[in-house]
Chain A
Amino acid sequence: DQQVKQNSPSLSVQEGRISILNCDYTNSMFDYFLWYKKYPAEGPTFLISISSIKDKNEDGRFTVFLNKSAKHLSLHIVPSQPGDSAVYFCAASVGSRDDKIIFGKGTRLHILP
Chain B
Amino acid sequence: GAVVSQHPSRVICKSGTSVKIECRSLDFQATTMFWYRQFPKQSLMLMATSNEGSKATYEQGVEKDKFLINHASLTLSTLTVTSAHPEDSSFYICRGGGEYGYTFGSGTRLTVV
Using a CB–CB cutoff of 8 Å, the interface residues on chain A facing chain B are 34, 36, 41-46, 49, 89, 96-106
Query: How long is the Cα–Cα vector from A42 to B31 in the complex, in angstroms?
Result: 23
In the complex, besides A98-B101, A103-B44, 14 extra interface pairs with C-beta distance below 8 angstroms are A41-B9, A41-B10, A41-B109, A43-B6, A43-B107, A44-B93, A46-B104, A89-B43, A97-B101, A97-B102, A100-B49, A101-B34, A101-B95, A102-B46
User: Which B residues are in CB contact (< 8 Å) with A34?
Assistant: 102
Known A42-B107, A49-B102; contact A97-B43, beta-carbon cutoff 8 A: no
Contacts of B97 in A (CB 8 A): 97-99
Neighbouring B residues of A44 by C-beta, 8 Å? 44, 93, 104
B:32-73 near A, CB below 8 Å? 32, 34, 36, 42-46, 49
The distance from the CB of B26 to the nearest CB of chain A, in whole angstroms, is 14
Q: What mask results when residues 8 to 36 of chain B are scored 1 for a CB within 8 Å of chain A, else 0? A: 01100000000000000000000110101
Contact B98 A89 (CB under 8 A): no
Residues in chain B near residue A101, CB distance under 8 A: 34, 46, 95, 102
* Identity of the chain A residue whose Cβ is nearest the Cβ of B57 in the assembled complex: A100
Residues of B within 8 A of A41 (CB): 9-10, 91, 107, 109
Interface-centre pick from A34, A36, A103 (highest chain B CB count, 10 A): A103
Q: Which 4 residue pairs of A and B lie closest in terms of their CB atoms, listed nearest first? A: A97-B101, A43-B104, A98-B97, A105-B43
For B90-108 the 0/1 string (1 means CB < 8 A from A) is: 0101010111111111110
Known: A97-B101, A105-B43. A43 touches B34 (CB 8 A): no
